[in-house]
Chain A
Amino acid sequence: MGKRTIIPIGPYHALQEEPEFFKLYVEGETVVGLDIELGYNHRGIEKLSESKTYEQTVFLVERICGICSTSHPIACVQAVEDAGGVEVPERALYIRSLIGELERVHSHMLWLGLAGHFLGFNTVWMWVWRYREELLNIMELVTGNRNHYAMMKPGGVRRDIKDEDIPTIRKTLDGLHGPLELFRDAVSDDPIIHARLKGVGVLTPEQIVDYGALGPTARASGVDIDVRRDHPHAAYGLVDWNVVTATHGDVFDKAVVRIGEMFESMKIIEQCLAKLKSSPGPVDSNPKEIPPGEGIGHYEAPRGEVFHYIRSDGSNRPARHKVRAPSFMNVLTDREAVLGATVADATIILAAVDPCYCCTERMAARDVATGERVLTSRELIRLSQAKTEQLKKELGAEGPRLNLEAM
């Protein structure tokens, strides 16, 4: 056995959006173990929720996550509705699915951009995020906000979607089909992405089941689960769409599943927009009281099932409110997926479950036979300057020249 080293990643890291602490145990370049420490961002939401009314609780859970900020509210209001036996008007069901799927597309685009960034494929990152902006513009138009939409409430939704906004939404979505196809082809045809992602970070169906992993993480390993289809809610039982699965369980298939899901989401959004025309009526059933009892609500967030449990004692606040986000189940699978991988692959494997986590790498190229460094920073600058000179000659342009010898 070689010498075992710990590479600490986090808890605060320049490229991490959230504090998490990964201890990567390595022997040489090979990862032999992983320890994950959480809790740097613990806010006591469950306890806090016990002091809020049912309507306020929805605003609270909306702030659990900024990316899937409508998934928690959908699961939460469904838990309250399950506890109280509350009916929801049909129009509100379509609006719930519409907002939920718009969120899924922008969340998957966020992941795809980040995945490109982790791999050093920054063109993908810039382009995907540029088109994600257009979705956020739709969100602002419909809900008044780019994120934290405040659309859900027990019994329905807070705002209707105006008829005059629908053509704008349609036009923006139509314009997204082309770019989405471009990204699909960019990922599926690029030999470097194949080399970096295929066979990397594999999770078997048995591991998925044992850990209770969810969402695209599970579906990429051929575990065909999706709460939207399996436990129909909102409008998912009323529109035509498919669950996307893959079989290899590697990071590549997780990308394939997420990209496929964006197209399915677009299908759902278009059908919901069409159905809004034929189902007028109220968007809120205004439930007054939640009787004593308990209720469970769950929703397929972009990363997997979000779970909310509510116990009512007959007052206007939950006596107990349990929240489980999909990453709670998914992140622990990292310790299996990362085993035997190289340190360089560990970054994308840890990012594959989409916990918004990343890390920088430093690289040095060496000649394998002699062990000599072949590309020093000076050589890279010289190569870059040579290319600039060549371009200048071709374009006939003048520019400042860096004196390398003086550096």
Chain B
Amino acid sequence: MTREATLQRIREALGDKVVDWFDKSEKRSYVEIRPEDVPDATRLVFRELGARFQIATGVDTPSAIEILYHWAFDKVNLLVTIRTKLDRDTPEIASLAGICKGTEWIEREMWELLGITFHDHPDMRHLLLTDEWPEGQYPLRRDFVQPGKEGGEG
């Protein structure tokens, strides 16, 4: 399947689930969908189209907490990023570990660093931070203040 055919197949299969589609270049596409559509989109790119899970990036922005799932189509030199935006007050989404085991650790990381809840994760606990890390403190949130540095930014 060519690069164009791959993108065409994703476009058709997702249909009106696509909130926004942005081709940064011919090798980089960013597709935004709603959180509830992420498992279906994952099955499409991973199971049907054979993409490789690279990693997911969690980003705290003023309006939402974003997750970007980066997928590599190694045969056609194409990277597709599936973007979804979660509510900042209660960020939650289904875990993808049941579809692709490679997502297991990064979901644990996004939970502890950004405070995103992953429903039905098989083994949710701290990955990088200590078990004694205070609850509700998420270092990659914009409003996180490093303990001892309450005086201001920097």
A residues within 8 Å of B by Cβ?
38-39, 42, 44, 46-47, 51, 82, 209-213, 225, 227, 230-232, 293-296, 298, 305, 307, 309, 311, 320, 322, 324, 328-329, 332
Q: How far is the CA of A149 from the CA of B13 in the complex (A)?
A: 46
Task: Please encode chain B, from 121 to 154, with 1 for each CB lying within 8 Å of some chain A CB and 0 for all others.
Answer: 0000011111000000001100000000000001
| Residue among B28, B57, B72, B77 making CB contact with A322, cutoff 8 Å | B57
Q: How far is the CA of A71 from the CA of B101 in the complex (A)?
A: 25
16 contacts between A and B (CB under 8 A): A44-B139, A47-B140, A82-B25, A212-B52, A212-B54, A212-B102, A227-B74, A230-B75, A230-B77, A293-B24, A298-B54, A298-B72, A307-B55, A309-B70, A328-B55, A329-B55
Q: Known contacts A210-B100, A307-B70; can you find 14 more A-B pairs with CB under 8 A?
A: A39-B128, A82-B25, A211-B102, A225-B74, A230-B72, A294-B30, A295-B24, A298-B72, A307-B55, A309-B68, A324-B55, A328-B106, A332-B102, A332-B104
Residues of B near any A CB (own CB < 8 A): 24-25, 27-28, 30, 52-55, 57, 59, 68, 70, 72, 74-75, 77, 79, 81, 100-102, 104-106, 126-130, 139-140, 154
Contact: A39 with B130, CB < 8 Å? yes
Top 10 closest A-B pairs, CB basis?
A: A212-B102, A322-B57, A324-B55, A39-B128, A230-B74, A212-B53, A42-B128, A210-B101, A320-B59, A211-B102
| Residue of A whose beta carbon sits closest to that of B68 | A309
How many angstroms between the C-alpha atoms of A311 and B66 in the bound complex?
12
Complex: how many Å from CA A296 to CA B105?
A: 21
* A210 & B130 in contact (Cβ 8 Å cutoff): no
**In whole angstroms, how far apart are the Cα atoms of A383 and B25 in the complex?**
70
With A39-B129, A212-B52, A324-B55 in contact, do A82 and B28 touch (Cβ < 8 Å)? yes
Cα distance, A42 to B126, chains bound together (Å): 12
Q: Is the interface of B mostly helix, strand, loop or mixed?
A: mixed
* Contact status A231-B54, CB under 8 Å: no
A209 touches B130 (CB 8 A): no
Q: Which residues of B contact A294 (CB under 8 A)?
A: 24, 30
Q: Which residues of A contact B77 (CB under 8 A)?
A: 230-232
Q: Are A212 and B100 in contact (CB under 8 A)?
A: yes
Contacts of B53 in A (CB 8 A): 212
Selected from A42, A230, A328, the residue in CB contact (under 8 A) with B105 is: A328
| Nearest residue, chain A, Cβ from B83 | A294
Contact in complex: B102, A42 (CB < 8 Å) = no
Given A46-B140, A212-B102, A309:B57 Cβ within 8 A? yes
Whether B127 lies near A329 (C-beta < 8 A) is: no
Given contacts A47-B139, A211-B101, A42 and B129 within 8 Å (CB-CB): yes
Most buried by B among A51, A298, A311, A320: A320
Q: What is the minimal beta-carbon distance from B46 to any residue of chain A, in angstroms? A: 9
Chain B residues with Cβ under 8 A from A324's Cβ?
54-55, 106
Partner of B59, one of A211, A230, A293, A311: A311
Contacts of A307 in B (CB 8 A): 54-55, 70
Residues of B within 8 A of A293 (CB): 24
> What's the least CB distance linking B30 to chain A, in Å?
8
Q: How far, in whole Å, are A147 and B144 apart by their CA atoms in the complex?
A: 35
- Residues in B with CB closer than 8 Å to A329 are 55, 102
Given A322-B57, A324-B54, A324-B55, residue A296 in contact with residue B81 (CB < 8 A): yes
Q: How far is the CA of A301 from the CA of B125 in the complex (A)?
A: 29
B124 CB to nearest chain A CB (Å):
14
Given contacts A210-B101, A211-B101, A309-B57, contact A296 B70 (CB under 8 A): yes
Bound together, the chains give a CA A209 to CA B128 distance in angstroms of 24
Tell me the bound Cα distance from A296 to B73 in angstroms: 14
Q: Say how far B132's CB is from chain A's closest CB, in angstroms.
A: 12
Q: How far is the CA of A39 from the CA of B130 in the complex (A)?
A: 7
CB A119 to nearest CB in B, in angstroms, measures 29
C-alpha gap A51/B154 in the complex (Å): 8
- How far is it, in angstroms, between the C-alpha of A381 and the C-alpha of B95 when the chains are bound? 59
Bound-complex Cα distance A85 to B127 (A): 35
Chain B nearest CB: distance from A156 CB in Å?
20
Residues in B with CB closer than 8 Å to A311 are: 59
Distance in Å: Cβ of B7 to nearest Cβ of chain A: 16
Q: What is the distance, in angstroms, from A45's C-beta to the closest C-beta of chain B?
A: 11
Interface centre among A51, A213, A296, A332 (most CB of B within 10 A): A296
Q: Which residue of B lies closest to A44 (CB)?
A: B139
* Distance in Å: Cβ of A286 to nearest Cβ of chain B: 22
Q: Are A38 and B70 in contact, CB atoms less than 8 angstroms apart?
A: no
Q: What is the minimal beta-carbon distance from A237 to any residue of chain B, in angstroms?
A: 10
Residues in A with CB closer than 8 Å to B59 are 311, 320
Q: Which residues of A contact B52 (CB under 8 A)?
A: 209, 212, 225
Flag if B27 contacts A231 (CB, 8 Å). yes
Would B101 and A305 count as touching, CB distance under 8 A?
no
Q: Which of A46, A210, A230 contacts B102 (CB 8 A)?
A: A210
A329 to B129, CA, bound (A): 18
Asked whether, in the complex, the Cβ of B128 is within 8 Å of the Cβ of A38, the reply is yes
